[in-house]
Amino acid sequence: MQLNQYIDHTLLKADATVENIKNLCTEAKKYDFFSVCVSSYFVALADSELMHTNVKVACVVGFPLGSMTTRVKVFEAKQCIDQGANEIDMVINIGLLKSGYHSIVEDEIRSIKKVIGDHTLKVIFENCYLTNEEKKIACKLSLNAGADFIKTSTGFGTGGATIEDVQLMKNEVGDYLKIKASGGIRDLDTAKKYIELGVSRIGTSSGVAIVTSNQ
């Protein structure tokens, strides 16, 4: 297991500075993480810092609430790709999902996937706000809309990834979609548990601590 290649090295705090982002990229290069995950403003900076490396740039869209209009999310996603992002982590419109407006949620995911083309789209559910039935519906909508990944959490809600949620998501999508576990994953044992469940990516701000404890 190449643990480092499961990790999206993440910094999404409101007070993240330019130097913080540069340091994030330096760590990602040192430990050969799969990607860094940053807010849209910092995509161009991260792309510049990671030029001529294998580390990808992932960017969040509609973060962290998901309640922006579809047009705004599509614009943000396209701008991020144009500035060098390889992957987009979008937050669904949680309120619309819970209102039963499933076709709107699906169409939004599809619209973002369309504008980013072959680039990877991860759909963030924010499971802490959803019932199990709503999580299953979100899985179906993401699959129908052509997403590449489904993702447990933003890390900014009332809860993060759980074993139970990842098992539920895996049962719903099988091998048709990949799964990213994110939120509250801070140590090696926890990361390994999720990987053993079948997740393809771990979103964490504790990537360095996780991989160095494995040495």
pLDDT tens digits for range 144-161: 999 999 999 999 999 999
pLDDT for the residue 75: 98
Query: Mind listing the pLDDT tens digit for each residue in 39-63?
Result: 999 999 999 999 999 999 999 999 9
In whole angstroms, give the CA distance from residue 213 to residue 215: 6
The yes-or-no verdict on residue 214 having pLDDT over 70 is no
Q: What is the CATH number of the domain that holds 201?
A: 3.20.20.70
pLDDT for the residue 136: 98
Amino acid letter for position 146 = G
Q: pLDDT category, 215, cuts 50, 70, 90?
A: low
Please name the residues in contact with 66: beta carbons below 8 A apart, sequence gap of 6 or more: 90, 91, 92, 93, 94, 95, 124, 126
Read off the pTM. Answer: 0.97
Over residues 88-94, the mean pLDDT reads 98
List the domain range (segments joined by +) for residue 14.
Answer: 3-212
pLDDT for the residue 169: 98
Determine contact, residues 181/199, Cβ cutoff 8 Å.
yes
Catalytic residues: 89, 151, 180
Number of domains in the chain: 1
The yes-or-no verdict on residue 9 having pLDDT over 90 is yes
In whole angstroms, give the CA distance from residue 81 to residue 12: 18
Determine contact, residues 91/126, Cβ cutoff 8 Å.
yes
Please name the residues in contact with 132: beta carbons below 8 A apart, sequence gap of 6 or more: 168
Q: pLDDT category, 86, cuts 50, 70, 90?
A: very high
